[in-house]
Structure 1
Amino acid sequence: MMDAPGSTDAAVLIPIFEHDGELHAVFTERRADLRRHGGEISFPGGRQDLPDEDLRATALREAEEETGLPPDAVELVGALPPTGTFVTSYRIHPFVGIIEPGHEWVLQPTEVEAVLELSLPALVRGYEAKRLWGKGVPFKTPTYTVDDHFVWG
């Protein structure tokens, strides 16, 4: 599990729910004025802190801090392989959790601009591999455009 590049462990939660017969994933849109990842769309998550028992706990804690989603409202059903980030050198451990639809989101105001509920079929339709730039270097990455939301990485 530690084969992914990156020097700092982080975890994200991929909250999934069903609505009107389609699966949806929950993302956060970060505030545009943030120094790191400003304006980017991501899954709720962040770096592992010392009180966290493990990376699952990190993902659940960060999701609650950023969106108000209580850990007991999430049924963790699996984990995806960790992936390294090029720009920030994080090793991100994704955890998948099932939640009920209709959650009342409580945004962390200094970090989160909005919570987005994007349907998985719309994400699939919006997929395209694109060349982006990071640290002055071009790199090819998966991208997803849904309405006016651009998700990459």
Structure 2
Amino acid sequence: MNRRPVIETIQQALAGPLPGMKGQIKMAPQPRSDQVNRWEIPDNYREAGVLLLLYPHHQPNQLEPELHVVLTRRPDYPGTHGGQISLPGGRREGDESLLVTALREAQEEIGLDPAAVEVIGQLSPLYIPPSNFYIYPFIAYSSVRPAFQPDAKEVAELIEAPLHLLFNPAIQREEIWQFPNYGERRVPFFDVFGHRVWGATAMILSEFLTLLQPNGTAVGSDNLTVSA
């Protein structure tokens, strides 16, 4: 199967109306959904760009490569996001564009060459109250699996997730967690090879998957094989 039609279909879907909060909220910690319309975003919010990278790869038990998404596990450190699973990305610097931010951070974190990827679209921005960040997700595609070189100071582990796995309802779980300063929350997450992918990362992935549902505007999980 020629992988190009799949990527072009995804690109066309990204160019149309996005699911936005309707897609994001499916994986939002609750009671966030009850509060979302009442939030007042402060003027001093910070901006970040993140990269959802699609590329061909195959797991050991697979004969043909398929689309994957790369995730990172942050090192454990005191703070809001220590140890969490995230997309490559980070804070905007100076007057650079948010796309440049996402590509620069991906290069710094996982050794991705910005010149080797094709940016195919953008998802809806997402405000994160605990860290006061407005996150702008960009979608990029590499025709070959990149030679990842994670920076150990920023990445404790690289996680390569088959896109079809994220479509599987069996990996969508929910637990009750206790948060300092926030109390008890019902937290949905993707269980990706034993890693709990939750919060902003799960919400971004959820919007992307909503866009790609078989009854939506793009491709479903049965059309993600990308062998040449």
Question: Do they fold alike, i.e. is TM over 0.5?
Answer: yes
Is residue 2:189 matched to residue 1:146? no
1:1-150 correspondence to structure 2 within 5 Å? 5=41, 7-19=45-57, 20-33=64-77, 35-50=79-94, 52=96, 54-125=97-168, 126-134=171-179, 135-150=181-196
- Structure with greater helix percent: 2
**Counterpart residue identity of residue 90, structure 1:** F
Give per-residue Cα distances to partners, 1:115-144, cap 9 Å, x unaligned. Answer: 111012212221235554443234455410
Q: 1:87 to 1:14 in 2, by over 3 A?
A: same
Q: Is the 8 A contact 1:123 1:144 kept in 2?
A: yes
- Which has the greater radius of gyration? 2
How many Å apart are 1:99 and its aligned residue?
1.4
Question: Greater RCO between the two (CA within 8 Å, min separation 6)?
Answer: 2
**Counterpart residue identity of residue 92, structure 2:** Q
Instruction: Return the TM-score normalized by structure 2.
Output: 0.59
- Structure with greater strand percent: 1
For structure 1, which segment, 57-66 or 83-92, has the greater mean C-alpha deviation from structure 2 after superposition? 83-92
Q: Is the 8 A contact 2:54 2:70 kept in 1?
A: yes
Q: Percent identity?
A: 34
**Counterpart residue identity of residue 42, structure 1:** S
Q: Which runs of 5+ in 1 are unaligned?
A: none
How many Å apart are 1:65 and its aligned residue?
0.4
Give per-residue Cα distances to partners, 1:47-106, cap 9 Å, x unaligned. Answer: 100152x10000000000000001111100000000111321211000000013432211
**How many pairs are equivalent?**
151
